[in-house]
């Protein structure tokens, strides 16, 4: 298979580090460039990164010299992966696209742009098909980490759902490495995450809807979300109470969740989980400290009562919710001949 050459924007941040880690020894994606904030450009990655994720810095990036986000520094790659902070992302990303460079981005700006596909590969890879009609260059966005995790188990039961009540218990790493001080969150629950509830609502509705060349048709279900931060390092938990359009046996739901497979599984893409939705039988599952899977979403406590379905779900906010989903998007696009 042809290799895909990529560069990574925001390579020293938490998501950038995970991208680098996940791409070490990738069968066909090759990291050809790393960019960081202006003060670090010109330095070797290993000299300036404060590596804080588990394991050592992969050898292959230690001596790579950091470049800027300017298009001139990314001429030779097939696609740029953006893990930029939200406040600077769009300015850099749009410059790249305008200069003829394709981008897959984790950053939030323009996710709801009607012409930009918002991709969670197993859930809505079909939305990528509009790129076949796009004349020039494109940008593809990945969803908010929580929307990425939640939309997965909703996909196979989408037709049953009238409305959703969601409460999230989100890990501290979702706010970045320095995002929350120990004094603020240890032994505490903070029942507010700026902008998060709106993103979860509208992004899930976009992902589960239809995408056309110049517009999208949302799923149009009311999604009531309360987002909280809990003292957990890695792994977002969400409790979902789904109002179904008909009484449904919990076993039927479990069967649909367990049986769910999509293009990434069929094509056996390297980063795809074999079983994208893991329904756990333990009565007290899923727990971030015990059940976290990098790319699959874990589901437990599946119960129906009247027409209300309850699911407790858990996903890795940095892998499935950020670095991994971007890489799986690239792999999916390659499999579809779009790269």
Residue 248 found at the interface with a second copy (CB under 8 A): no
Residue 184 found at the interface with a second copy (CB under 8 A): yes
Residue 328 CB partners (closer than 8 Å, separation 6+): 121, 264, 269, 271, 272, 295
Sign, Cα dihedral of 19, 21, 27, 29: positive
**What's the CA gap between 283 and 279, in Å, rounded?**
11
We find the least distance from the C-beta atom of residue 174 to a second copy, in angstroms, to be 11
We find the least distance from the C-beta atom of residue 110 to a second copy, in angstroms, to be 25
User: Is 74 an annotated catalytic residue?
Assistant: no
Candidate segments 137-145, 212-220, 231-239, 247-255, binder of a second copy by CB under 8 A:
231-239
Residue from the set 38, 191, 195, 259 that interacts with a second copy by CB under 8 A: 191
Residue 47 found at the interface with a second copy (CB under 8 A): no
**What's the CA gap between 98 and 266, in Å, rounded?**
34
Residue 169 found at the interface with a second copy (CB under 8 A): yes
User: Is 236 an annotated catalytic residue?
Assistant: yes
Angstrom CA distances, 227 to 192, 230, 295, 322, stand at 6, 10, 22, 18
Residue 28 found at the interface with a second copy (CB under 8 A): no
Candidate segments 86-94, 115-123, 268-276, 288-296, binder of a second copy by CB under 8 A:
288-296
Q: Compute and round to an integer the Cα radius of gyration of the chain.
A: 19
Residue 133 CB partners (closer than 8 Å, separation 6+): 213
**What's the CA gap between 231 and 53, in Å, rounded?**
17
Pick the closer one to a second copy by CB: 99 or 163.
Answer: 163
Residues that bind a second copy (CB under 8 A): 52, 165, 167, 169, 172-173, 177-192, 222, 224, 226, 228, 230-233, 237, 239, 241, 283-290, 300-301, 305-306, 308, 310, 312
Residues that are catalytic: 145, 236
């Amino acid at each position: 298979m042809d290799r895909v050459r990529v560069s990574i924007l925001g390579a020293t941040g938490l998501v950038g580090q995970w991208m680098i880690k996940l791409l070490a020894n990738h069968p066909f994606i090759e990291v050809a460039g790393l960019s960081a904030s202006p003060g670090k450009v010109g330095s070797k990655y290993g000299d300036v990164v404060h590596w804080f994720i588990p394991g050592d810095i992969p050898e292959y990036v230690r001596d790579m010299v950091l470049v800027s986000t300017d298009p001139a520094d990314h001429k030779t790659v097939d696609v740029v992966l953006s893990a930029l902070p939200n406040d600077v992302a769009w300015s850099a990303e749009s410059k790249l696209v305008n200069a003829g460079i394709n981008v897959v981005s984790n950053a939030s700006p323009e996710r709801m742009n009607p012409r930009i596909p918002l991709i969670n590969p197993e859930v809505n890879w079909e939305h990528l098909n509009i790129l076949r009609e796009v004349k020039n260059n494109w940008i593809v966005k990945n969803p908010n980490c929580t929307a990425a995790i939640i939309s997965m188990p909703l996909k196979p039961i989408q037709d049953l759902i009238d409305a959703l009540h969601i409460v999230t218990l989100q890990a501290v790493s979702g706010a970045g490495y320095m995002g929350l001080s120990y004094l603020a969150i240890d032994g505490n629950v903070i029942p507010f995450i700026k902008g998060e509830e709106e993103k979860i609502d509208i992004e899930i509705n976009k992902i589960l809807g239809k995408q056309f060349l110049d517009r999208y048709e949302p799923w149009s279900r009311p999604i009531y979300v309360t987002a909280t931060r809990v003292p957990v390092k890695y792994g977002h938990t969400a409790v979902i109470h789904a109002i179904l359009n008909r009484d449904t046996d919990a076993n039927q739901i479990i069967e649909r969740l367990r049986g769910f497979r999509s293009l990434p599984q069929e094509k056996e893409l390297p980063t795809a989980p074999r079983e994208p939705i893991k329904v756990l039988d333990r009565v007290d599952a899923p727990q971030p400290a015990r059940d976290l899977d990098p790319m699959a979403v874990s589901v437990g406590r599946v119960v129906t009562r009247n027409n209300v379905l309850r699911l407790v779900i858990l996903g890795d906010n940095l892998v499935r919710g950020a670095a991994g989903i971007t890489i799986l998007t690239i792999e999916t696009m390659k499999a579809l001949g779009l790269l």
